[in-house]
Structure 1
Amino acid sequence: MVVAIGIVLMFLLTQATNNRELYERNYGRLFVLNMVVAGLLLVVIAWIAARLFSRLRRGRFGSRLLVKLAAIFALTGLLPGLLIYVVSYQFVSRSIESWFDVKVEGALEAGLNLGRASLDALASDLAAKTRAAAAQIAEMPESSAPLALERLREQLPANDVLLWSGNGQLIASAGQSRFQLNPDRPSTQQIRNVRAQRSLAVIEGIDDPDPATAGNARVKALAIVSPTTATSLLGEPRILQVTQSLPATLVANAVAVQEANREYQERALGRDGLRRMYIGTLTLSLFLAVLGAVLLAVILGNQLARPLLLLAAGVREVAAGDLSPKPALQGKDELGGLTRSFAEMTQQLADARTAVDKSMMQVDAARANLQAILDNLTAGVIVLDEKGNIQSTNPGATRILRTPLAVYEGMPLASVEGLEAFGQAVQQQFDDYMNERRQHGLDHWQQSFELNASQLGTTQMSITLVARGAEMPSDTPGKTARLLVFDDISEIVSAQRAQAWGEVARRLAHEIKNPLTPIQLSAERLEMKLAGKLVGADAALLAKSVQTIVDQVDAMKRLVNEFRDYARLPAAELKPVDLNALIADVMHMYDRDGIDRDDNTGHVPVVSELDPNIPHVMGDAQQLRQVIHNLLQNAQDATEGRPERKVTIRTQWNDAGHRVRLVVQDTGSGFPDHILKRAFEPYVTTKAKGTGLGLAVVKKIADEHGARVDLLNRVEEGVLMGAQVSLSFAVAT
């Protein structure tokens, strides 16, 4: 606690030292607090010294060593500290006066004068140019003033050129002031001065000490434009105002010199306070450092003597025949290692009689653990022989490949129904690996495989595997076993593709949408400019072309907005939701939508089969509403051109899996193989005018809800009956 307080005080002392006013204001408090900490350190040191003296009188082992180490550390910290203090004291007391040199003060004064002279020269030059410019526009009427002012702004060059009337009303302007509602008009005093002197130059912003606003420093010159009867009916004199920004480097240097001179003068006045501040800080720091060094010496000495005391006690116990486990220190030094070695030696002597039995128990436990690990691995593991025959598998392989591989043990992997191509590819990889291993010394091979629905013998989506193969060690010469480990990365690949499409959507929305509005505005402006100049076929062609551009721009905006909404889909706020009530609410709206769509294609009925026993699910009602609408819309569109057009939405409660299942079926033509494999990727669609974002949004929302999405084609007795999309949700707790 004392050390922590001391560190905090040293930090506060350092902060106060950097601020002379803060230090002088809190010097007394800091001194008292540091003396309190020093007193506490003295009390702690006295207490530890008393304990050492007591141990030494009782003849405790290691007491003399501890006293010796403490004295060595204390002297090591005290002597260098005193030497540094003496040298630092002399340096501080004698060198502060050298900081305030007459030459430095003269150089700063010369720098200030040089900066003022440079700024005055710039102001005089701009005033002369402004007078010449006023003479040029003296004979120019007010109607031509804007163009003339623009030419003057480019010639000077200047940021702003303004022409004011005699009573301060703006006549014309050029430059940045054109975009201001109330340009900076000359003050009344400036108008009086310019009338008296014919011209005036003012430097603004140079006296602002803030570096952020010093970059706005400028020179403003005013000159009288002599009135003539040709330019003004009232004969009032006009005022030409020219504003020019000062060079940023010149302004920064001028402000820096001015600030340095001010700080130098302040330091010169407080040199006595500086000397007292540094010497006081140095003294307090030395005092706390020396006391801390003594305290640290005692603590470190105790840490060094502790391992020796532990070893001495252990040797006495071993000599008495006690071979029980001995305590050991976990330090990384040699003494800690010595205690650990001694503890290991006694442990080895005690465990010598039971070493064989314990080893056998460990082997049995390791074998059982390995089998448990293989049985519970999510990855698939298959052990093959040289010819590719299956020797053993784990449940993970059966789950991933959706085939009972235990039935095919002793048979080639390539002979398993639905896995012929996969087995041949694996065998080829092992053959290539064995050849390359002899040449390059490889220890494994790794390859990804994609098994589609036809290979798996199912109508569900295909899966992507990443497989790794290696040769297993064998006790029998000439016979080797091959280990094949694989995992289903379909979800990872799908997530990566969704993330990539989200990035593409964001970039498209940013890169494409920006030029669309200028294109539309330019086309409409062309039509406005040329509409009155063209007649007949040319006018009709112009109107048609412009309308085509506007329609296509709107279409591109809608497409970009859809991609943007996909990329910016908000995070789901999961709450308990009644899925049946949500579906019923959507069905009311959807029935009206179906009536509105009763065109030449006919109305597509939607039948709901809701399980009344399903519990609430964890979900975002707004996003789930979007999922249901997308699935029903896709299902209705899929039935176009089919003899029977029907969509069914169903909810089911799976008591065994403790999940709620939402199923949408249609009587359409199903998913083609190339679509089924990439159905959840954006822009993958079978519709002529679709964007392919429907199922992509469904998958993204399902991932946010922790739901599983399955796609399949319903086949009954070899006849395709339509497509089915199902989602499995977790129930609300």
Structure 2
Amino acid sequence: MFSLILLSALSLVALMVASDSPDAFNRLQTPLLLVNTVSFLVLFILVVVSGRKLVRDYKKSKLGAKLRLRMTLAFGGLAVVPAVVVFVFATNFMNKGIDVWFDAEVEQGLSNALTLGRTALDEQIQQGLFKTTNMALTLTGTDQLDKRLNELRNNSLALELLVLNNELQVIGASTKSLGNLGSRLPSKAEMNQAITKQSWASLDSSVEGEYLIRVLVPILGFSSNETPLYLHSLFSVDPNLSKMADSVEETYARYGRLTFLKIPLQYSYIFTLALVVMLALLLAIYGSIEFAERLVKPIESLEKSTRSVAAGEDAVQIPKAGEDEISLLVSSFMHAQKEAAWSDVARRMAHEINNPLTPIQLSAERIRNRYLSKLGKEDQAFLSSSTNTIIHQVEVLRDMVNAFGEFAKDPQLKFERFDFNQLLMESVDLFEEEKNVKYFTILLDEGITFVEGDVKRVRQILNNVFKNAIDATKDCS
């Protein structure tokens, strides 16, 4: 798809560059337009297939189809309206611009310039004919003909003078350049025209690109019993006049070709512009469909996962759709839903665990109150320590259960001063009856034993430390 778009863009750029030259435009127009037409058809097929799928999903009320269709229509509408406006105004301006190129006044001006140039050249031809005719009248015989021709050539500024007979044989000659002597002899037809009309003149171009005037007239001064002779002259045209005449002639010919191509050129430009606009529209529509598809895809994944969970599937994973806001919103929603579910489970479990704690604590208090006065001092101390440990541990367990019920919320710390040595001994008493515990070695600091902290959290830490120590030394000898 990307290669197709890149190929179309390159061909359109090449077509735009070729439009600067009509000849290049006509030469490259067909293959480039063919490439763009193929791209247009492929893109059109893709848009039609995607559009049919979108309409089919909409008719089936598939989740996200309405949003995709609405976004496609919105983006397509935003692309169509400016494109149509640009196409209409661009077509209008282009037609007016082409009409200005072929304005009647421009054509008339070029025609006048061409006529003026031709008139100037005709004037040069007439001057050459006049000079040649006068020179022919001064020739009365063949005596010292070459010397006479040299004088006439120098006075008339001619490039070459030749005296010819009916067989185009050179009788006498005078030239400015010996290398070109006789290189431009008249033909038999030109000779016959000179005999019929008593003169012949022509405008030719040289190898250097300059114009040359050739004139052929009969020499009437010779006696009637002699063979008819003719004077052939060669004159150069002013170089500036030659260049200007060529420029006007070339411009007029080019303008004529452009005039012939006016209608095809208009249609070609309009078709190219329409093709560019249609490609842009199809790209915008196809892009809006793909964008809407990617935007709605996380929502569809969420809907499928929700149905799977409702059907009893626990191990449901939502694939990561991307890093955009919609994907993050879906991920946040799923995370919040999971947190809410676990929070509800935690509250229910905390409620169920918390129910038997109160009877345990009350039972320990009843045992202590009932049997404490009936025992000896040593047993009283043991019973009091044991029941206090039970009561304290129940309180710790209740705090843990309440914290679990809060789910992921740390319980607030309650700082107070307490006797750390006493708390340590209570924790030791809790584990000294363990069958795997042989003995505890306790070293207490008899100095400052009161510290400030959360008694319940410190008690929990000590219990964990002793429990871990006992578990770590079970298999030791």
Identify, as 1 or 2, the structure richer in helix: 2
TM-score class normalised by the smaller sequence: 0.3 to 0.5
TM-score normalised according to structure 1 size: 0.32
TM-score normalised according to structure 2 size: 0.46
Identify, as 1 or 2, the structure richer in strand: 1
Larger radius of gyration: 2
Higher relative contact order (CA 8 A, sep 6+): 2
